[in-house]
Amino acid sequence: MASAQHQANGNGAAVKPTNREQEVPYENIFLFIPNLIGYSRVVLALVSLYYMPLHPRTCTLLYSVSCLLDALDGYAARKYEQSTRFGAVLDMVTDRCTTTCLLVFLAQAFPRWSIVFQVLISLDLASHYMHMYATLSMGGTNHSHKNVDESRSWLLNQYYSNNKVLFTFCLMNEVFFIALYLLSFSSPLLSPTLFSDMNNPSSIQPGSPASPKPSMLFASPFSAAAMEMARANKIDTRLPWVLMLTAAPVMLLKQSINVVQMVRASQWLAEGDREMRKQAGLPRKRSAKKTQ
């Protein structure tokens, strides 16, 4: 019996065998364009952290570029059809880590308000982790964390469904903290000791920049004395104040959204727990005690 070049399927139709050339080529997800942009964001963020204690202008420039690239990787993912779960996680982790590092510095710069920054860090991490976990466990692995049904939360649906709204909120949130970071180097109102008279420790009058003697400086450029000297390199406070006050309402609303996101994720997980317990026959009905 001669071998047929075409095999028949169950309906008798000829089916051409699949060859290697017709198979989908192997794709290296790690080298997708949006993921390469994500790696550049990580590098810029790390370099900005290196300059953060002593070079506020350089740090601000690098950190801002890293934040702005957050919009570019999403655009590239849509344009080149390279949206991936790895890219989404990389983007979220980068955002959370960079913001956390900046807030850690602000907690050090404003120790009296450190608990506020600690709460903001905890809220940001808890909210996004719970939202991501709830989406994966309840919505399935193919369900994006940005696909929030309106019936579950109208606010989160509006927040995630419009890329421009999402970018604006994230941008203004970062602008607020970046402006506050710049003010920690320049504002006598927020950091009065930066402009105190070194010969008169009780004086906190602005306009007399701190100029520590060389003998007071430690060898490490990251020492407290070196930081004080760097902060005394006054930066004009007008623009940071304007940016911070302008971005403050959006930042507060962003934190409110984080609270809503955490609450809704908790409720979604609780729904799943109730359904799982119901299928397992829990709670078990206890037999009535026999009357004596």
73 catalytic residue (yes or no): no
Rg (CA), the chain: 28
Tell me which H or E stretch contains 14: strand 14-15
Q: Classify the C-alpha dihedral 29-31-34-38 as positive or negative.
A: positive
Residues 95, 149, 236, 273: which is the catalytic one?
A: 95
Burial 115-144, CB ≥16 within 10 A → b, else e: eebeebbeebebbbebbbebbeeeeeeeee
Is-contact 247 173, C-beta < 8 A? Answer: yes
Residues contacting residue 155 through CB under 8 Å, at least 6 positions apart: 257, 260
Residues with catalytic annotation?
95
